[in-house]
Amino acid sequence: MWNCVTEFFTYDTTKSVVVKSWTIGIINRIVQLLIISYFGWVFLYEKAYQERDTAIESSVMTKVRGFGEHQHKIMDVADYVTPTHGGSEFCIITKLITTEKQVQGKCPESESKFKCEHNDNCTKLMSRPALNGNFLPTINSSYVKKCNFDFEKNTYCPIFKVGDVVRLAHQNFTTLVNKGGVIGIKISWVCDLDKSEDECEPAYFFTRLDITSEKSSVLSSYSFRFAKYFKMADGTEYRTLLKAYAIRFNVIVTGNAGKSRMIPALFYMVLLIFVGAVLWDKILLNFLKLAKKSEEV
């Protein structure tokens, strides 16, 4: 018991050994170079000294402008954009299939007395139905009214041409107009908060979201139906049913921001030095027998 107490209160000093060996010297410099390289990669490139936050809080507002023509009719955004309130998802209608003057009610053949029990009850060849979707302070209103997004000159301009978005998503515009589709607009904010806010620029990525596998029988397209209701002179209500093919745009915002914190930086630095010292001691002990000369200090 007394020996354990004595051992606990004993202070040990390290022994310094000078090893004159080309092999150990080269290995020593290589290990030091690896430690310095790792230090540079972690601290300068990966910025491990920063605390990072990826829980972005954002609100997206969109607005579509422009006129179009469909079956010799001029249309504006109230006709071809849905929903109209401008959120992170919206659709631009590119093709309409119209079925006019539909009256909702029971079909005559829904009653049993109108069904054909055998061939004598039905007239030959007579058609019968079968019964079985950040502005900088320096950006002003005049700039926004005139600018268009550009990867080199206008990265802060939030104005996009539909054709440019489709092209950047590597899609055929004609096919997309005829069949519809879903385009994702991803806005990525990767910011170093140790620098000026002016250097925090958004990165834009465009991709097709509804692409299916080549082996799948489901075609890539996007369509939906809606109706417009009217009344006849006698009060009977009827509707015009429209099947719309559209390009749906989904705006997705992601972010990653980092800011320096001294405590994590010091922790990583001390840990790196400690690991390097332990690693080199292990190498030295294993290769000590190769040394031709040694001197105790």
CA dist 276 and 273 (Å) reads 5
Which pLDDT belongs to residue 136?
63
Q: Write the pLDDT tens digit of every residue in 207-227.
A: 988 876 666 555 678 888 988
By CB neighbour count within 10 A (0-12 exposed, 13-18 middle, 19+ buried), where does 223 fall? middle
CATH numeric code, 68-107+162-258: 2.60.490.10
Q: Could you give the residue range(s) of every CATH 2.60.490.10 domain in the chain?
A: 68-107+162-258
Prediction pTM value:
0.59
Q: Write the pLDDT tens digit of every residue in 106-150.
A: 765 556 665 666 656 565 555 444 443 355 666 777 777 788 888
Q: Which of 125-134, 155-164, 172-181, 212-221 has the lowest mean pLDDT?
A: 125-134
Task: Classify each residue of 154-176 as buried b or exposed e, where b means 16 or more C-beta atoms within 10 Å of its C-beta.
Answer: eebbbebebeebbebbebeeeeb
CA dist 169 and 171 (Å) reads 6
**% the chain with pLDDT above 90:** 4
Among candidate residues 204, 160, 165, 195, the one with its CA nearest the CA of residue 182: 165
Segment 196-212 mean pLDDT: 82
Q: Which of 6-20, 88-102, 110-124, 164-178 has the lowest mean pLDDT?
A: 110-124
